[in-house]
Amino acid sequence: MTRENVDVLIAGGGFAGLTLAVALRQALGPSFAVTVADPALGKSHADDERASAIVAAARRLFETLGVWDAVSEQAQPILDMVVTDSRLDDAMRPVFLTFAGEVEPGEPFAHMIENRFLVAALAAKAKEIGVELRSAAVSDITPPPERGRLASEARRVGVSARTDPSPDRLRRSDPPLSGEGAGVRALLSDGTEVFTRLLAAADGARSQIRQSAGIATHGWTYDQSAIVTTVGHGRDHGGRAEEHFLPAGPFAILPLKGNRSSIVWTEAKGEAERIVALPDEAFHAELEQRFKLHLGEINTVGARRVHPLGFFVARAFIAERIALVGDAAHVIHPIAGQGLNMGLKDVAALAEVIVDAARLGLDPGSATVLERYQRWRRFDTVTMGIATDGLNRLFSNRSDVLRLARDVGLGLVDRVPNLKRLFIREAAGLVGDVPKLLRGEML
């Protein structure tokens, strides 16, 4: 069995894992060893129909990491957005809210990009700057014998490990990792045994690492699924995004480069399964009933996929020498297109606390460092998760009373320019305690 020691092992090479790897490697250079392990690395993502709204803050991060240039050709700026609220068979869809899409002059509030382009660009950047990429799963982890180790070190330096508020002080002169007992031990599916000072779990919503670390989640599944597909249409969308609130849930038309749009179409679970299994012609008819004809005829329809929807937040974002990021830590309803953007905020915050610690010669996996990360991200995540859940409950129903209430609310927001501006900046990820990378600053 091959054995390796690394500073940070990242389980998962999706958006979150690869972005974290690139950020750490760029800030800390080759002397700080970062490995990403994911069985899907190197495999084609050609069948991934999903596209994501990358908000301004996330674009600043990708620009700072030198990834944006590689995808800017494929990224469609969202220039404005309209929100409607109607029944499925209403002849007219009154517009209740409009957003002009700039957060700063010349800076759109978001771009739409197909997931496969962005993941490929991140993997290429990680490879170019020397991140170790392993096409293997993290299949087993053994936590560090931390308490025993702390206690014995405490005895060595003559303090009590329980009462010392700064475990880092005990570790500043740690020797480099050297085999069993130092850090988390992770077994990869290719047979490699890795010892790491920090294991970052970026292994998605069903995170095995989260489960192995015994971290429970709060949340629920929705009786809704999202049908995702890409359509080609006769007319130019002009960079306009549309969110049509229908009784079964939001139907979003999100502009892609060319006369194409990404569709995220929420339906009750059983109905979504039924619709997606329809023959092409019948599926087209259902789609057109919601899409309408203002962008001309729908001339192509890509592969259709159904994604069951849920909401959860991990009870803790950290365990001993483990940090959760991205969907491993939280999953929210796609109604506001914020799931990945929240994951990137985790990544930017975690990278910042690790880099700050490493530059001071501190242990990047210590409790002090990880608690700083958790304080930064967990409350913000819970707030956003609850807001998104509330939005979905408010809009995905057939109640005329609620409909009236929300339409008055939307109309109000539409008429107050400062409130609208705040909404746009919030949606663009530029409000609150924003990590450096999301402000466009190097670590």
Ligand X SMILES: Cc1cc2nc3c(=O)[nH]c(=O)nc-3n(C[C@H](O)[C@H](O)[C@H](O)COP(=O)(O)OP(=O)(O)OC[C@H]3O[C@@H](n4cnc5c(N)ncnc54)[C@H](O)[C@@H]3O)c2cc1C
Q: Mind giving me the DSSP string for 333-367?
A: -GGGS-HHHHHHHHHHHHHHHHHHHHHTT--TTSH
End-to-end CA distance of the chain: 36
The least CB distance from residue 430 to ligand X, in Å, is 15
Distance, CA of 102 to CA of 50 (rounded, Å): 24
Phi–psi pair at 258, nearest 5 degrees: 80, -175
Distance, CA of 351 to CA of 442 (rounded, Å): 11
CB nearer to ligand X: pick between 6 and 367: 6
The least CB distance from residue 211 to ligand X, in Å, is 10
CB nearer to ligand X: pick between 341 and 396: 341
Give contact residues for ligand X (rule: CB under 6 A).
11-17, 37-40, 50, 52-53, 137-138, 202-204, 208, 226, 228, 264, 307, 326-327, 334, 337-341, 343
> CA–CA distance from 235 to each of 15, 231, 243, 290, 294 (Å)?
32, 12, 18, 17, 8
The least CB distance from residue 275 to ligand X, in Å, is 15
The least CB distance from residue 336 to ligand X, in Å, is 8
On whether the CB atoms of residues 258 and 343 are closer than 8 A, the answer is no
Of 284, 295, 287, nearest to 239 by C-alpha is 295
Distance, CA of 350 to CA of 329 (rounded, Å): 13
The least CB distance from residue 423 to ligand X, in Å, is 17
Residue with tokens 């913000």: 380
Amino acid (one-letter) located at 422: L
Residue with tokens 């740690």: 174
The least CB distance from residue 426 to ligand X, in Å, is 14
- Residue 395, CB half-sphere, CA atoms under 13 Å: how many? 26
Phi–psi pair at 365, nearest 5 degrees: -105, 10
Phi–psi pair at 162, nearest 5 degrees: -70, -35
Distance, CA of 99 to CA of 22 (rounded, Å): 33
The least CB distance from residue 226 to ligand X, in Å, is 4
The least CB distance from residue 162 to ligand X, in Å, is 34
Chain centre to alpha carbon of residue 405: 31
CB nearer to ligand X: pick between 276 and 362: 276
On whether the CB atoms of residues 41 and 231 are closer than 8 A, the answer is no
On whether the CB atoms of residues 431 and 380 are closer than 8 A, the answer is no
CB nearer to ligand X: pick between 161 and 427: 427
CB nearer to ligand X: pick between 335 and 443: 335
The least CB distance from residue 416 to ligand X, in Å, is 26
Cβ count within 10 A of residue 66: 14
CB nearer to ligand X: pick between 202 and 231: 202
CB nearer to ligand X: pick between 226 and 348: 226
> CA–CA distance from 162 to each of 152, 156, 157, 362 (Å)?
12, 14, 13, 19
- Residue 283, CB half-sphere, CA atoms under 13 Å: how many? 20
The least CB distance from residue 138 to ligand X, in Å, is 4
Of 330, 350, 248, 319, nearest to 17 by C-alpha is 350
The least CB distance from residue 13 to ligand X, in Å, is 5
On whether the CB atoms of residues 181 and 146 are closer than 8 A, the answer is no
